[in-house]
A = this chain, B = another copy of it.
Amino acid sequence: MNPLIHPDRLFPADETRRAIARRLYAAIKDLPIVSPHGHTDPRWYADNEAFADPATLFVVPDHYIFRMLYSQGIPLEDLGIPRKDGGPVETDKRRIWHRFASHYHLFRGTPTRMWLDHAFATLFDIDKRLSADTADYYFDRIAERLAKPEYRPRALFERFNIEVIATTESPLDPLASHEKIRQSGWTGRVVTAYRPDPVVDPDFDGFLANLEKFGEITGCDVATWEGYLAAHRKRRAFFKSYGATSSDHGHPTAATADLPRADAEALYAKVRSGKANKAEAELFRAQMLTEMAAMSLEDGLGLQIHPGSFRNHNPHLFAQFGRDMGADIPTRTDYVHALKPLLDRFGNERDLTIILFTLDETSYSRELAPLAGHYPALRLGPAWWFFDSAEGMKRFRELTTETAGFYNTVGFNDDTRAFPSIPARHDVARRVDCAYLAELVASHRIDEDEAHELAQDLAYRLAKSAYKL
């Protein structure tokens, strides 16, 4: 037994529940991975090139990791994170790895630690804990393996037993990697998802230029509201042709609007002029969620709403390193009032799936479960980002199931750009769900045959059906 991945990890300690959890997990642990929402780079699957080295694979792209190191005083430069001004940063990968390894204790009790240990053990057959002492051993072992053909992205994809994975692209993306994958004849199923924030959010960096490019790409006249909407329709169809089954929207709030056509036209004109104020930008994003839902009813894409992150909270870091540097902080998020315009128009639709996520756990039992437990169009996305963790997932189930049940939820999303962590993340979700089901069985709230069915649903079937994959 490899001590990094104990077979009973995340199961309850008492024998009654642990035994049930083991049985449930044994039956679902080898199910294929369905990953309907994530941020892996499609070039990996298209180009199938070897990953560079341990630091570049694990440390440099993972904001969970460098955020924690930064919080304890380690400059991002020392971790090799590239600066916007091209200024000097650490280039010695082994030194980066050593810095990480010698601070590995900071991750005790975090999901990052579980994901990493899982990858170290299952991919690299390592059974010693990472530390300053074992840093070189790790670095050499991982580097050696990464050079082998069976560690190329497509081989790992197959080894991970991924049935289908979604990436996330901007409407401005030509989907060249997706086309290359298609042309390659490789059978791995990689689909895209439509993430129009760059042309929907007036506060997005380069929004106006993005709009121009959006018009060029689609051949639509984005000078008009009608043309702009037509461009979305056209681009959604294009994304759909590359397997997309959903759109995704990362707005600061969950605000929605349902303006009269003339008002929406005028608002778009204001936004396109670059003179929209904060409230108008917010209203435009709000209106666009409703427009996207209308298009979803036409083309069948699911609508994912990921609200509530205060992006780039640290201006100093943003100036030096740009976005996604671990400085996005959750905020209080209202759903009951915010979603009402959208729900008033489309909440009762049976052929529409709107998947809600949150970074504000107070909304689980107060707002999200009651909404999803009523409106036919609503489903709850899994515990997200900071809550993609053992305790976070446990709270998600405890706080939503009694009101929304299991069948208004959509299974697991790994939501990751850290490729080697994908099996670990799904494994954590499966274990936590089995532990939760074991509690329901042990306390005689459901029977074990039902728990087996639910375990399958949560690990596999709900994601496939909610995302039509």
Interface, chain A (partner B; CB < 8 A): 3, 6, 8-14, 16-17, 67-68, 70-73, 105-111, 113-114, 129, 310, 313-317, 326-332, 334, 336-337, 340, 343-344, 347-348, 350, 359-362, 365-367, 369-376, 378, 386-387, 389-392, 398-399, 401-408, 439-440, 442-447, 450, 453-454
Contact = CB atoms under 8 A, between A and B. Distances in A.
Given A105-B450, A329-B374, A332-B334, 5 more contacts: A8-B444, A10-B445, A108-B454, A314-B348, A329-B371
B406 A108 contact: yes
Contacts of A344: 314-316
Contact of A445 (B9, B316, B403, B447): B9
Nearest to A369: B386
Lowest 6 A-B CB distances belong to which pairs? Answer: A6-B444, A9-B444, A14-B14, A13-B442, A389-B402, A109-B401
Nearest to A359: B366
B366 A402 contact: no
Contacts of A107: 405
A401 B71 contact: no
Given A313-B340, A374-B67, A445-B390, A405 B362 contact: no
Contacts of A350: 73
A113 to B, nearest CB: 7
Contacts of A378: 71
Contacts of A12: 13, 443
A9 B347 contact: no
Nearest to A331: B336
Nearest to A376: B73
A326 to B, nearest CB: 5
A62 to B, nearest CB: 14
A286 to B, nearest CB: 18
A374 B70 contact: yes
A370 B313 CA distance: 11
A408 to B, nearest CB: 6
A328 B336 CA distance: 10
A350 to B, nearest CB: 4
A348 to B, nearest CB: 5
21 contacts: A9-B443, A70-B376, A71-B373, A108-B450, A109-B402, A110-B402, A110-B403, A114-B445, A310-B336, A314-B343, A314-B374, A314-B375, A326-B373, A330-B336, A330-B370, A365-B386, A365-B387, A389-B403, A390-B443, A391-B398, A391-B399
A366 B17 CA distance: 30
A128 to B, nearest CB: 11
A440 B109 contact: yes
Contact of A374 (B71, B332, B362, B369): B71
Nearest to A436: B109
A297 B310 CA distance: 27
Interface hub of A114, A370, A378, A398 (most chain B Cβ within 10 A): A370
